[in-house]
Structure 1
Amino acid sequence: MGIGRGNPVTYQVPYTNPDGDQLRFRFATPSESGIPSLPPNMTIDPMTGLITWDNSDNTIFPDNSLWAVQVIIEEYDPGVDPDTDPPKATVATDWIFKIGGVGNQLPTCTFDPPSPLTVNLGDLVSILITGDDATGDADDNDTDGNTVTISATSMPPGATLTPNPAVGTAPQTATFEWTASALGAFDATFAVSDGIITTLCTATINVVQPSVCTPAVIQSERVSGNQGIATFYSPDGIEQILFTALNNLTVVSVQGTGGETFSGAGMGPYVLDAGYSPPTTVEVVFQQVDPNVPTGTYFAEVSTTCPSEPGGLLVANLDPTVAFELRPERFALEGPLPNPTEGLTALRLALSEASQVSVVVYDVLGRAVARLAGGEFSAGVHEVRWLAGSGLPSGTYVVRVEVQEGEGRRWVEHRLVTLLR
């Protein structure tokens, strides 16, 4: 590769260290490399791999002269003393430096987006590489003028650089593309040359598992006296709840079912108190504002911590039409909604008193395909959800709702729901 003239000229040996081991850098001995001697006035930092070279004397280092060197990178486990213990692995890299003329500056290389870059497995990675060179330096006097060339020296399997090489007046661009096909850290190295000297630049791409975050849902609702209790659920852990609409309801308390407490007032946000891990289930108690108006409505935004993105928040906007019928006079049934559905639908039951409730889904041949409820429900409004399994085909299904109240009162209703796949 080309290198400028000066005192000092520096060059960083490119490397990656994904496992965080100790690295030591040194020049190979003549017996190791077969190179009779090092270039005069050249040193290497054993900790960083930065080569420093005073090649300013053009009687020793004439323009366009070539100089060879071999760098050995030694790898040690953390805690091992490199001065007394042998390395667990070594890598030898060979370099040939071509000295540019006086006043010739190294071309530059930039990445958009910058390196290192973290992407999900399966993502299409696209990086715009820009090679530039100072106008008016020594290389502009050659036949090519202020021309730069971008070429790939190493890339992950399946990656492309378009064009390769990219040649033209500075600044010049090329596009690297690669579908992240495996987990781990991958390097793509490119050479940017002004025709005399060359800069190597490396983009590091960290490929991780895609984030799998689960939006929060309203797991259940129930009524006790003139209070409504809603249970919010997310397997990622709930950190805060914000109410953006409360119609005829106020928030009495927000608490995790494991005793975790949340602080807030009014519509919130209600934020998890310090010292608690985010609970997966949180109960919110609502109170009627006007006891003469039986219906209350709320709209909530639930922020959860996604474990695959530490510290990241996922906001789930919950259905603003969710309502409590705090004083139902008799059994009433709404839904299922949505209908048709692609897999998730819900019924709303209003019970005037504690009742035995059975909710079963049948196909058109009369076979039970899902049992959604079976047991005693308290007085108030309840939501029963059906998440149709992937094995069920498109078609029409029958939802049978049976409610058995005290004193022999019994209701049976059938509702049709269309499943679309």
Structure 2
Amino acid sequence: MKTWVKLFSILICVVQINLFSQIPNSGFENWVGGDPSIPEGWITNNAPPAYTPVIRTTDAYMGSYAVQIWNVYFGTFVISPFMYTDKFPVTQAHGSLSGYYEFYPFTGNESIYVTTWFTQAGVIVGGGGIDIGTGASTYTMFNFDIAYTPGANPDSAYIYIGMVDTTGVPQVGAYAYIDELAFGPPSDVQEISSSVPDNFNLSQNYPNPFNPSTKIEYSITEASFVQLKVYDILGNEVAELVNEEQTAGTYRADFSGENLSSGLYIAKLQADNFTKTIKMSLLK
């Protein structure tokens, strides 16, 4: 259980983020008329009482509720969930979309997706998304960058959430919880190649020694939950650069030691069963 102090502190941050984010019902706290199948501000493929693949849950990351998506029966058919916002106004080209999820695949062929599109005068000028295929039994953050056409000045956005089965034959038993969506600035991590690498790897940072910033490249061979953290020589964590699901590819993370003292630091990459560390030298 979280302490009330921690809850209060996080709640203040979330309220501030959500006011800035402009996403309708971003924490899924509001349900039309108290109906647990109608999230306010969202359109679903529910058809009650026949089937409701999108419902309210009290298993929330924050607040009282989150949204649950799951495969459900309709007679002998299986219905996969999807939901989306209607067009909602934005006042800037947001750099990223984040949120929290728990995911419980059933056959291992399922994945959940979150995508967003930005439009200007009805024309798509930006978008991004993430596909998550790895289960998570505790709330885990996802985050993805949003790319735009040059000179884009979006006035509206949409968000889509759903679950798919790669075989095209969904099975009842898979479900996920989604909570606390928020727009934010672009991340300090960029995908520099979408080609599938031969091996997991963490390359030596460059430049090294560095002052005050350096770049760290790493490769993952399959969709994985990735953590890239930096520690001082005593083992104290000083930075978390990556903590999210990522697709196969090669990535580059920026690390700044502007507020750190000169010395030796350790970067540690964890992705599935792969772990590797490198030593980095900060010289001021």
Give the structure-1-normalised TM-score.
0.24
* Greater radius of gyration (CA): 1
Whichever structure has more helix as a proportion of its residues is 2
Give the structure-2-normalised TM-score.
0.34
Higher normalized contact order (CA 8 Å, seq sep 6+, divided by chain length): 2
